[in-house]
């Protein structure tokens, strides 16, 4: 790979091999080689099993930095934590930054036999840490990453001590394997809470149109197929490393700067898709077709005609106005990469007005930001409004069977149920179920503990209301 995940032993579904694989089948599971709960979630999740805090956690009495569900979790974590505990204790309260701690975990593990650990990903193929791609030459030439590594060296020197630091070349290789192969580990709410490195999980290459999807149950990585295979071909299994709501240009740039390759998948080479992503509404009120407008074209060039109805009577300043709106939207959305703000999202949508087509990627991103920020503020009517407006856009960019679309439907089902729109919530739940039972499986907490109980509850309430109505 080139994304983020972890594992010691990996159970590849050997029975699948070259046999037929149906969508929803587990292709591979993996336990982390190393993993680490990120600092913002310390004390909220167990550092060993990554379960959310329900009762009082037990804090490590040595370093006061790690938190555990119980004695069993602390004991299971001790084989690696015992080497870092006294180092953390020596530095507290000035604990190392997350990336330095993850690198240190790997260094400690490798020094204690981790270099010999291997994981199976097929019946005959295994991977060790040294087999992970490190892009040594590319990262060596990357000034930004070299500057980052220089800072980390100083931290690691104080944390591990000079006697435990690998030589320059080995540290460079470890750093490269981490930045190229680490996964963000999500909880059942799909919130990124931890980072891990997985040996077998790192085997998957990228596509902006993936045919496989990764979820997590605790620390375990689970990869399921999103498509039917007459015979599973490992060379063609793809997951996505980036958000497909980025423009083709931005996705290609992001992949190149983060992973040092140029994507040539179907989405990135689809010119029609790219034209739709920067489109406006047709000037003919009875036509819903998108009309492409390029920000780079001469502003004096006429817009259109519409490929569907032929409409071409657009105002002379249409291109100039579109460029202003697109520039403003992109700048504001980029400022909200870490957190969506409801007022800013509304401002973007007001600026866009009725010009941008519903499949324009900037319109889709703005509606998504408004929808997510409305959820965080518990503005349920606005959540339904923005989410419903964006169903076609999310479906178009992710695909109607993609788990991201399924999770959006689940959220809309929850909100419509909460505000008493039971029939509508059931429609969202049913559509979500068709997707999530494939991408997540029926044993995943998202399906088992969230979707199914809510569906059954909504069905029961609908049946009760209908029975009362008949009386």
pLDDT at 225 over 50: yes
Euclidean distance between CA atoms 160 and 454, whole angstroms: 49
The mean-pLDDT minimum among 1-10, 255-264, 378-387, 405-414 falls in: 1-10
Euclidean distance between CA atoms 283 and 291, whole angstroms: 9
pLDDT at 103 over 70: yes
Phi and psi at residue 113, to the nearest 5°? 95, 0
Provide the pLDDT for residue 55. 78
pLDDT at 348 over 70: yes
Q: What is the pLDDT of residues 104-135, one digit of tens each?
A: 999 999 999 999 999 999 888 999 999 999 99
**Quick one: what percent of the chain has pLDDT higher than 70?**
96
**Quick one: what percent of the chain has pLDDT higher than 90?**
81
pLDDT at 14 over 80: no
- Residue 190: pLDDT band (50, 70, 90) is confident
Provide the pLDDT for residue 10. 39
pLDDT at 13 over 90: no
Write the Ramachandran bin of 198: left for phi over 0, alpha for psi from -120 to 50, otherwise beta. beta
Residue with tokens 């439907």: 409
Closest alpha carbon to 290 in 331, 303, 332, 300: 303
pLDDT at 297 over 90: no
pLDDT at 223 over 90: yes
- Residue 18: pLDDT band (50, 70, 90) is low
pLDDT at 11 over 70: no
* Per-chain mean pLDDT for the chain: 91
Euclidean distance between CA atoms 329 and 366, whole angstroms: 8
Judged on CB neighbours under 10 Å (0-12, 13-18, 19+), 289 is middle
Q: Which domains does the chain have, with CATH numbers?
A: 5-11+32-205 (no CATH), 270-373 (no CATH), 399-471 (1.25.40.10)
Provide the pLDDT for residue 424. 96
Q: What is the pLDDT of residues 376-404, one digit of tens each?
A: 999 999 999 999 999 999 999 999 889 99
- Residue 93: pLDDT band (50, 70, 90) is confident
Q: What is the pLDDT of residues 24-38, one digit of tens each?
A: 999 999 999 999 999
Distances (CA, A) of 235 to 136, 198, 206: 23, 18, 11
Q: Which helix (H) or strand (E) holds 277?
A: helix 271-277
Provide the pLDDT for residue 7. 37
- Residue 471: pLDDT band (50, 70, 90) is low
Q: What is the pTM of this model?
A: 0.86
Can you tell me the mean pLDDT for 262-286? 92
Q: What is the pLDDT of residues 237-247, one digit of tens each?
A: 999 999 888 88
Can you tell me the mean pLDDT for 456-463? 94
Phi and psi at residue 386, to the nearest 5°? -70, -40
Phi and psi at residue 226, to the nearest 5°? -95, -5
pLDDT at 54 over 80: no
SS3 287: coil
């Amino acid at each position: 790979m080139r994304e983020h995940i972890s594992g010691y032993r990996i159970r590849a579904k050997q029975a699948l091999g070259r046999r037929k694989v149906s969508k929803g089948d587990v292709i591979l599971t993996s336990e982390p080689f190393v993993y680490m709960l990120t600092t913002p979630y310390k004390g909220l999740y167990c550092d060993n099993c990554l379960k959310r805090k329900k009762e009082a956690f037990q804090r490590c009495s040595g370093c006061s930095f790690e938190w555990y569900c119980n004695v069993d979790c602390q004991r299971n974590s001790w084989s690696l934590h015992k080497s870092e505990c006294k180092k953390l204790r020596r530095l507290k309260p000035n604990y190392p930054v997350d990336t330095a701690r993850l690198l240190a975990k790997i260094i400690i593990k490798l020094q204690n036999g981790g270099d010999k650990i291997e994981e199976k990903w097929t019946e005959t193929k295994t991977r060790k840490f040294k087999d992970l791609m490190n892009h040594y030459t590319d990262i060596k030439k990357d000034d930004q990453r070299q500057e980052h590594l220089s800072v980390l060296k100083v931290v690691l020197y104080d944390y591990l001590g000079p006697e435990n630091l690998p030589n320059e070349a080995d540290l460079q290789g470890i750093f490269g394997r981490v930045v190229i192969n680490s996964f963000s580990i999500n909880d059942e709410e799909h919130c990124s809470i931890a980072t891990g490195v997985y040996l077998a999980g790192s085997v998957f290459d990228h596509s902006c149109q993936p045919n496989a999807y990764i979820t997590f149950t605790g620390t375990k990585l689970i990869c399921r197929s999103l498509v039917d295979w007459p015979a599973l071909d490992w060379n063609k299994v793809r997951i996505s490393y980036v958000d497909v709501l980025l423009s083709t240009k931005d996705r290609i740039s992001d992949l190149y700067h983060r992973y040092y390759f140029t994507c040539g998948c179907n989405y990135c080479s689809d010119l029609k898709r790219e034209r739709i992503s920067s489109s406006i509404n047709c000037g003919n009120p009875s036509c819903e077709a998108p009309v492409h407008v390029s920000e780079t074209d001469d502003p004096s060039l006429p817009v259109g005609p519409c490929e569907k109805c032929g409409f071409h009577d657009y105002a002379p300043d249409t291109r100039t106005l579109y460029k202003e709106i697109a520039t403003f939207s992109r700048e504001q959305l980029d400022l909200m990469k870490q957190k969506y703000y409801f007022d800013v999202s509304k401002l973007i949508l007001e600026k866009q007005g009725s010009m941008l087509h519903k499949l324009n990627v900037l319109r889709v991103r703005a509606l998504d930001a408004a929808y997510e920020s409305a959820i965080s503020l518990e503005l349920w009517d606005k959540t339904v409004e923005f989410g419903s407006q964006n169903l076609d856009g999310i479906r178009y960019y992710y695909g109607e069977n993609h788990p991201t679309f399924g999770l959006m439907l689940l959220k809309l089902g929850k909100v419509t149920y909460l505000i008493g729109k039971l029939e509508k919530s059931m429609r969202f739940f049913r559509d979500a179920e068709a997707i999530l039972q494939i991408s997540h499986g029926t044993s995943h907490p998202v399906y088992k503990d969230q979707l199914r109980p809510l569906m059954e509850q909504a069905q029961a309430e609908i049946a009760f209301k209908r029975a009362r109505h008949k009386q």
